[in-house]
Structure 1
Amino acid sequence: MKKIIVIGGGNMGFTYAEGIFNANIADIQIIDKSEERIAEINAMNKMKATSSYDVLVEADLVFLAVKPQIAPLVFEDIKTIVNKEQVFVSVMAGMTIETIQQGLGVNKIIRCMPNLPASIQLGMTTYVGSKEVDKENLALVGSILKSTGKAFEVQNEDMIDSTTGISGSGTAYIFYFMNALATAAQDFGFSSEEAKTLTAQTFEGAIELYKQNDISLEDWMNRVASKGGTTRAALNNFEDNKVHQLIKNGTIACVDRAKELAKDKR
């Protein structure tokens, strides 16, 4: 059984560690620098947690799940411990494969773009490997990522940045739209709990209809909106205010920022 070490016991790092543990596909351990967090993880009686980087010498795969801004400091601490036979899996936003290779002096890197729903096994993750990663390890990492929702390999690293603009940050866009609906509901006199139910159930129902049927989003809108009706009034207002284009512009701004961050970290 392979040995996997996760550096970073925060939300995303712990999510993947727990997925690996539950799937029983590898021996898993977490490294974190917070003694309080280490105690919390060890108290669960699942995975072991430690503050020592020395355990990295035992690893076949290393998940890098620290904040991008502290990654250079982590690289300095571990680059004399790790080796070129190990595979490194990064879930750090804006950190390129080349930057990690140079920072650690290693070659085998798999870069991922997860999103927050991975914490409840409903995540969407894309990933791509450097040319030095073999098919066996790429498949293993793919199966690990799928333990937290859906995942697929993309053709090149630029598509990781593109994913950031859709699924990586997209959860926040959806919360933004939901917040507008929930606020409108309260303005109409519904309680906060009623507004939450109205908003959440409407989104959940629409998503399931879309997933379970081979019907385009435009067709779904037309099925709900009759000519001259109430729904059409709302959609016409959105179109008049160019909401569709503004959302697309937001995704472009997100992708552009992801590329800027990647350049800054080189």
Structure 2
Amino acid sequence: MEILIAGVGSMGKTYADSFLQSQAITKDDLLLLEHSDEKADMLRQAGFPHVIQQADASVSAVRLLILAVKPQDTASLYAQLRPWLKPEQLVLSIMAGVQLFTLQQALGISKIIRAMPNLPAQIGMGMTAFTADASVSRQELLYVHNLLNTTGKSLYFDEEHKLDAVTAISGSGPAYVYYFMDAMMQAAKQMGFSHTEAELLVTQTFMGAVHLENRSSLSCQEWIGRVASKGGTTEAALKSFEADALRQSIIEGLEEARKRAQVLGGIIPKG
């Protein structure tokens, strides 16, 4: 088998499905490690032929091991995996905040890649940033890059510290979008629209605006200028945002998210 996914929750299952849909691998190439009896049974019923609930000798045969568990669940997992891992094997971790060095010490191997995906990966529109230890070859990086691209787009960084900023920007980013959308829907309902009407008005506006920006070379500021006319309705709203320092609040909020990622990764002490 080529790939082992340890932890087949939301993101682990997303990877399994994306790799299969893109025909990067077949189900026979995939080994799933899932401790939960219920989830393991569901995976078998879904047609996955290789599902294990404890690490065994089959771990030694895979080319790539993907760690898709919560960081707090790693202690027992590391202990299970370490006896079966070989120096030439490749590990991809999508655990937020867990540093390359920590993984190397825990697993006893050096070829570690660390990635930060986000929620839209579930529908093939994700944004993933990744970095790797120097022992990972260019060929191995390309192999993983192609796999990550089955869930959307991916971007490589030499500097591991940038993944904490990525966590704040694109990792947590969907929640910020939903936050703003929710506020707009609430405003629409206060203006007399039904929930269904408010939802359609807001979601279609977001989708249209993003697609329009993606298909042009104009900056966000230039697009704002296209919508906002002097003395108009858009300008009135923008002036209110600026008076409340909304832009600066957003920037400061993302910085707080980055700091929190650093705390979780042990880069800066808890405060």
Q: State the TM-score, normalized to the length of structure 1.
A: 0.96
Question: Per-residue deviation at 1:22?
Answer: 2.2
Identity %: 38
Decide which of 140, 152, 165 is 1:149's aligned counterpart: 152
Once the two structures are superposed, the pairs formed by residues 56-75 of structure 1 within 5 Å of their partners are 56-75=59-78
Whole-angstrom distance in 2 between the partners of 1:154 and 1:256: 19
> In the superposition, relative to structure 1, how do residues 111 and 263 fare at CA in structure 2: closer, same or farther (>3 Å)?
same
When residues 213 and 264 of structure 1 are mapped into structure 2, their CA distance, relative to the original with a 3 A threshold, is closer
Match for 1:242 among 230, 236, 245?
Answer: 245
Match for residue 174 of structure 1? Answer: 177
- Select which of 29, 37, 40 maps to 1:38: 40
CA offsets, 1:144-171, max 9 Å, x none? 0000001121121011111111100000
Q: What is the rounded CA distance, in whole Å, between the counterparts of 1:42 and 1:149 in structure 2?
A: 27
* Shift, 1:46, TM fit: 4.5
CA deviations 1:50-76 (Å, max 9, x no partner) are: 213112121111000000111122112
Q: 1:35 offset after TM fit, Å?
A: 1.3
Shift of 1:47: 5.7
Report the CA distance shift for 1:89/1:44 in structure 2 as closer, same or farther (over 3 A).
Answer: same
Alignment-derived partner of residue 7 in structure 1: 6
SS in 2 for 1:9: coil
Q: Does the residue aligned with 1:45 lie in a helix, a strand or coil?
A: coil
1:24, 1:145 → 2: CA distance?
Answer: 13
Distance in 1 of aligned mates of 2:31 and 2:268 = 28
Could you say which residue in structure 2 is the equivalent of 1:125? Answer: 128
CA distance in 1, matches of 2:196, 2:76: 44
Letter in 2 for 1:100: L
Root mean square deviation, CA, Å: 1.5
- Is contact 2:4-2:59 (8 Å) kept? yes
Unaligned regions of 5+ residues in structure 1, if any?
A: none
Map 1:18-37 to 2 at 5 A: 18-26=17-25, 27-37=29-39
After superposing on structure 2, the runs of 4+ consecutive aligned residues of structure 1 that deviate more than 4 Å are none
For 2:43 and 2:105, the matched residues in 1 are separated by 31
**CA distance, structure 2, for counterparts of residue 211 and residue 46 of structure 1:** 37
SS of equivalent to 1:147: helix
**TM-score normalised by L of structure 2:** 0.94
* Count of matched residue positions in the alignment of Structure 1 and Structure 2: 265
Of 89, 93, 110, the residue aligned with 1:107 is 110
Residues 1:193 and 2:192 aligned together: no
Is this contact kept in 2: 1:38–1:51, CA < 8 A?
A: yes
Is the deviation greater in 2-11 or in 89-98?
Answer: 2-11
| Corresponding residue for residue 16 of structure 1 | 15
Q: CA deviation at 1:16?
A: 0.9
2:165 maps to 1:162? yes
Check the 8 A contact 1:30/1:47 in 2, yes or no.
Answer: no
- The 2-side partners of 1:35 and 1:215 are apart by 52
Structure-1 residue corresponding to 2:119: 116
Contact residue 33 and residue 55 of structure 2 kept, 8 A: yes
| Residue 110 of structure 1: how far off its partner (Å) | 0.4
Q: Gaps spanning 5+ residues in structure 2: where?
A: none
Determine if contact 1:21/1:46 at 8 Å carries over to the other structure: no
Structure 1 distance, partners of 2:260, 2:212, is 33
CA apart distance, 1:194: 1.1
Q: Secondary structure at the match of 1:150?
A: strand
1:87, distance to aligned residue in structure 2 (A): 0.4
Q: How far apart, in 2, do the equivalents of 1:192 and 1:181 lie? A: 11
**What is the CA–CA distance in structure 1 between the aligned matches of 2:50 and 2:182, rounded to whole Å?**
39
Secondary structure of the residue aligned to 1:80 is: helix
Give the CA deviation at 1:214: 0.3
CA contact (8 A) 2:165 2:258 kept: yes
Tell me, in whole angstroms, the C-alpha distance in 1 between the residues paired with 2:22 and 2:85: 26
Q: CA deviation at 1:17?
A: 1.4
- Counterpart amino acid of residue 17 in structure 2: E
